[in-house]
Amino acid sequence: MRRAAALGVLLLAACASAPSLRLDKPVVLLGEVHDNAAQHALRLEAFRALLESGARPALLMEQLDRDKQPAIDRLQGGATAPTADAVIAAAGGPAWDWKFYRPFIELALRHGLPIVAANVGRDEARAVMRQGLAASGFDAGVPAELLKSQAGDIEASHCGMLDAATAGRMALAQVARDQQMARLVAQHAERGVVLLAGNGHVRTDVGVPRWLPPAVRARSESIGVLEQGDDSTAYDRRVFTAAQQRPDPCEAMRKPPAARRP
């Protein structure tokens, strides 16, 4: 009996400490650390609960580049209902671990939700870096402090091994991605939106929320899904999970090119 009682206390403590996530606003900008399995599971349960409540938002995904939208539309508009694997084969890139995102696509297909490719791909991003935002149809009126913040984050994420000029050009590409996501959020906001994107994209100070029309921003919530120890505060709401165990990314970057894995 004592063992059973002790086990019950442990289970209650675990439940009390487990993070909870509800999607309450019509427009949700849902962050992530891309490789954190616990976060993906948490977000999936929240997305499933939202659909069970009767909501039918558009699913916008950073993991799909906007030039792949015609392929997604052909699949969703076809006579035969597509599978998630068919969507991934037609529109998914190799940079993503699709076991995390396949369940979201499956739910979207099951409930007839629009699946929207929200990202600016690498080729377009390189064009922005070379030619600037306006040449690719983006808003070049970006505050200097926003670009400085983006460039600083990019330098930090590259372990200090990136020169400031390159980081500045990469910041332009990051802004283009945020602006593109914001345009699509606004386009689909009337029916509701769930955007799946990295935490950097959903930051309220420099990310997608910064580029939303005021009326859409008022109906939106930015949720940072963060790892314990992350002190970032630039979100409407924060949810914390345990940190994913991973190798030090800077260690690999500091190796000589010949010593890196191909």
Q: What is the pLDDT of residue 14?
A: 38
> Has residue 122 got a pLDDT over 70?
yes
- Asked whether the whole model's pTM tops 0.75, one would answer yes
Q: CA-based angle 214:216:218, to the nearest 5?
A: 70
Q: What is the pLDDT of residue 250?
A: 80
pLDDT band at 229 (very low <50, low <70, confident <90, very high): very high
User: Which of these, 135, 142, 139, 90, lies nearest to 115 by C-alpha position?
Assistant: 90
Q: What is the DSSP string of 198-212?
A: -TTTT-TTTSGGGGS
pLDDT band at 12 (very low <50, low <70, confident <90, very high): very low
Q: What is the pLDDT of residue 258?
A: 54
More confident residue, 15 or 231: 231
Establish if 166 belongs to a structural domain.
Answer: no
Q: Quick one: tokens of 39?
A: 């976060």
- Domain containing 210 — which CATH number? 3.40.50.11550
Establish if 165 belongs to a structural domain.
Answer: no
Give the domain extent around 76: 21-121+186-244
Distance from C-alpha of 90 to C-alpha of 79, rounded to nearest angstrom = 17
Q: Quick one: tokens of 72?
A: 């997604």
Establish if 36 belongs to a structural domain.
Answer: yes
Q: What is the pLDDT of residue 247?
A: 85
Q: What is the pLDDT of residue 126?
A: 97
Domain total of the chain: 1
Cα separations in angstroms, 146 against 117, 121, 139, 171: 25, 22, 13, 9
- Contact by Cβ (8 Å): 244, 33: yes
Distance from C-alpha of 66 to C-alpha of 182, rounded to nearest angstrom = 13
pLDDT band at 256 (very low <50, low <70, confident <90, very high): low
Q: What share of the chain is helix, strand, coil (3-state, %, to 5)?
A: 50, 15, 35
Q: What is the DSSP string of 40-82?
A: HHHHHHHHHHHHHTT---EEEEEEEEGGGHHHHHHHHTSSSPP
pLDDT band at 8 (very low <50, low <70, confident <90, very high): very low
What φ, ψ does residue 101 adopt, rounded to 5°? -105, -20
Distance from C-alpha of 217 to C-alpha of 254, rounded to nearest angstrom = 41
Q: Quick one: tokens of 16?
A: 């009390």
Q: Quick one: tokens of 138?
A: 């983006």
Q: Which of 7-11, 45-49, 61-65, 247-251 has the lowest mean pLDDT?
A: 7-11
Q: Quick one: tokens of 53?
A: 């409540």
pLDDT tens column, 169-228: 999 999 999 999 999 999 999 999 999 999 999 999 999 999 999 999 999 999 999 999
Establish if 208 belongs to a structural domain.
Answer: yes
pLDDT tens column, 26-80: 999 999 999 999 999 999 999 999 999 999 999 999 999 999 999 999 999 999 9
Establish if 257 belongs to a structural domain.
Answer: no
Establish if 167 belongs to a structural domain.
Answer: no
CA 208, 214, 220, 223 torsion: positive or negative? positive
Residue 97's CB: how many other CB atoms inside 10 A?
A: 12
User: What's at 141, amino acid-wise?
Assistant: G
Q: What is the pLDDT of residue 254?
A: 63
Establish if 16 belongs to a structural domain.
Answer: no
Q: What is the pLDDT of residue 7?
A: 38
> Has residue 15 got a pLDDT over 80?
no
- The set of residues, in sequence order, having a beta carbon less than 8 Å from that of 185 and lying 6+ positions away, is 27, 29, 60, 193, 195, 208, 212, 216, 220
- The set of residues, in sequence order, having a beta carbon less than 8 Å from that of 9 and lying 6+ positions away, is none
Strand partners of residue 227: 241
Distance from C-alpha of 86 to C-alpha of 247, rounded to nearest angstrom = 32
Residues in the chain: 262
> Has residue 162 got a pLDDT over 50?
yes
Establish if 233 belongs to a structural domain.
Answer: yes
